[in-house]
């Protein structure tokens, strides 16, 4: 025999965890076009716009790419609740009436303003006008109506019929629109498409007006995904307050009725909305709080509180007018929704901008899952254990001949495999105060039919400071504490 040394490469001894999908947001929302319920990953807004056109889906994607700097997974959902247009108001007008043609074609939430320059008679050339989608903050150039009897605002789905009669110079026509909304049934179809999607994503944003039924649908769906080793969270938004018809107190009552008995340790429900300037259109638009909240979370570490004040205001959101008067819900001025476990926006006296109040999970009273980061950190721990233990399925382990339980040496080897990755990804980076993986030592391994090993992941979360209690007083002399 020729003297030699043989070396064989052995794999699967240390355990490998796939690259993290943290910060990749899956978004379900209506859009202008594109194949419904077909998820696709996008890292560029122009490609998303080419695929899905205008509407909430791509607007949200563009905002997320700007703020979080992360790719997105987009799912165009059906929108069984058609778009609507509000009452048309005319000021300084002639005899021509204006009506919204086919409101169901409207793509989004707009504040429409049509301003006439030159007046005239409908059907006779000479009339000029400008259009605005944000109540006159941003206006189109003047254009001629000509002999047309209707006018269309591009890329909005808004068409206005101009009736017979006269139009006066300076006449204004205004109304608000509400874009199409997805129902719970629409959401179910979109979720099924996401279930079979093979790409990476970490959290889900649903752009719809959520209620207790939708929360239950999302929670149940995510619970089922956990059995498959997919540990995710969701963010949704309640119906915004109608400032024209609903006081803050009435809105709080409505939110209590809607979510008082709802619960989930897997998701956050935001309340109301704010103004945000669209990076696609360059206009100010009404947007749910959930969009800014989700982007802040995806831009941050999974253990970081989205309400950490030092991180600054939520990007682009405005909940007060230029004089500081509230336009949308401000939890600092109208407290109460935070107590309902809804995630809200707030102001701080002396600070510019709009801030997140608390990133609350819609969890039941007494739950260990209070803030969004609690769910995200635990998801990471579960994902680590699932991946590493899956690699050990059908592994042979030795039995202690005296007890019939797993041999201590083999138990320690499995524990160390998971513990090393928990330490690496959670403990050492300071995402948690501590994390331990414990394997049972008392499982019955006597049957040859296949063993079940029980284990436990214990996580000690970070403490998140929510209040400083400070006493101020005059003293005769200042006592300086000794140096440490």
Q: Where residue 2 falls among pLDDT bands split at 50, 70, 90?
A: low
The pLDDT of 161-174, averaged and rounded, is 98
301 pLDDT higher than 90: yes
Q: Where are the domains of the chain?
A: 25-80+184-356, 84-178, 372-460
Spell out the residues 6+ positions from residue 13 whose beta carbon is closer than 8 angstroms to its own: none
DSSP string, 213-237: HHHHHHHHHHHHHHTTT---EEEEE
The pLDDT of 117-143, averaged and rounded, is 97
Q: Distance (Å, rounded) from C-alpha 294 to C-alpha 179?
A: 21
How far are the Cα atoms of 89, 295, 475, 477 from residue 480, in angstroms, in the given order?
68, 44, 12, 9
354 in Cβ contact with 345 (< 8 Å): yes
Look at residue 399 and give its three-state secondary structure.
strand
Q: Where residue 479 falls among pLDDT bands split at 50, 70, 90?
A: confident
The pLDDT of 147-154, averaged and rounded, is 97
Look up the CATH architecture of domain 25-80+184-356. Answer: 3-Layer(aba) Sandwich (3.40)
The pLDDT of 118-141, averaged and rounded, is 97
Q: Distance (Å, rounded) from C-alpha 165 to C-alpha 302?
A: 61
Please tell me the predicted confidence (pLDDT) of residue 16: 56
Q: Which residue has the higher pLDDT, 7 or 226?
A: 226
20 pLDDT higher than 90: no
The pLDDT of 148-167, averaged and rounded, is 97
Please tell me the predicted confidence (pLDDT) of residue 392: 95
Spell out the residues 6+ positions from residue 418 whose beta carbon is closer than 8 angstroms to its own: 15, 384, 385, 388, 389, 437
387 in Cβ contact with 17 (< 8 Å): yes
Residue 65, phi then psi, degrees to nearest 5: -65, -40
5 pLDDT higher than 60: no
Closest CA to 97 of 177, 145, 166: 166
- Provide the mean pLDDT of the chain: 95
């Amino acid at each position: 025999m020729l003297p030699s040394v043989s070396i064989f490469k052995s794999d699967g001894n240390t355990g490998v965890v796939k690259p993290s999908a943290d910060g990749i947001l899956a978004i379900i929302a209506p859009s202008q076009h594109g194949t419904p319920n077909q998820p696709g990953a996008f890292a560029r807004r122009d490609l998303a716009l080419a695929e899905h056109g205008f509407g909430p889906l791509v607007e949200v994607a563009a905002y997320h790419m700007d703020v979080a700097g992360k790719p997105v997974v987009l799912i165009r959902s059906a929108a069984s609740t058609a778009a609507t247009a509000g009452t048309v108001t005319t000021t300084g007008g002639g005899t021509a009436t204006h009506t919204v043609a086919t409101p169901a074609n409207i793509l989004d939430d707009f504040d429409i303003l049509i301003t006439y320059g030159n007046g005239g008679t409908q059907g006779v050339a000479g009339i000029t006008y400008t259009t605005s989608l944000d109540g006159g903050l941003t206006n189109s150039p003047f254009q001629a109506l000509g002999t047309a009897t209707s006018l269309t605002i591009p890329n909005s789905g808004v068409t206005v019929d101009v009736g017979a009669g006269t139009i006066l110079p300076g006449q204004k026509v205004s109304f608000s629109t509400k874009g199409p909304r997805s129902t719970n049934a629409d959401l179910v179809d979109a979720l099924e498409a996401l279930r079979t999607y093979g790409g990476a994503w970490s959290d889900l944003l649903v752009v719809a007006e959520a209620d207790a039924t939708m929360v239950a649908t999302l929670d149940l769906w995510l619970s089922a995904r956990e059995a498959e080793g997919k540990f995710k969270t969701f963010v949704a938004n309640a119906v915004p307050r109608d400032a024209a018809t609903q006081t803050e107190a009435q809105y709080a009552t409505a939110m209590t009725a809607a979510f008082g008995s709802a619960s989930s340790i897997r998701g956050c429900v935001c309340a109301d909305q704010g103004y945000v300037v669209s990076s696609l259109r360059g206009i100010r638009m009404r947007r749910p709080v959930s969009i800014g909240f989700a982007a802040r979370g995806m831009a941050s570490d999974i253990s970081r509180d989205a309400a950490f004040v030092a991180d600054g205001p939520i990007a682009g959101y405005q909940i007060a007018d230029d004089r500081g008067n509230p336009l949308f819900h401000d939890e600092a001025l109208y407290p109460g929704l935070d107590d309902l476990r809804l995630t809200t926006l707030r102001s701080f006296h002396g600070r510019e901008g709009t801030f997140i109040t608390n990133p609350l999970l819609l969890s039941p009273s007494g739950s260990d899952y209070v803030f969004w980061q609690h769910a995200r950190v635990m998801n990471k721990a579960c994902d680590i254990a699932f991946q590493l233990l899956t690699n050990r399925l059908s592994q042979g382990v030795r039995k202690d001949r005296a007890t019939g339980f797993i041999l201590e040496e083999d138990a320690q080897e499995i524990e160390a495999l998971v513990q090393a990755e928990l330490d690496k990804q959670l403990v050492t980076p300071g995402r948690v105060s501590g994390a331990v993986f414990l394997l049972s030592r008392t499982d019955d391994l006597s049957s040859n039919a296949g063993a079940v090993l029980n284990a436990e992941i214990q996580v000690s979360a970070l403490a998140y400071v929510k209040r400083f209690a400070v006493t101020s007083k005059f003293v005769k002399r200042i006592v300086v504490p000794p140096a440490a």
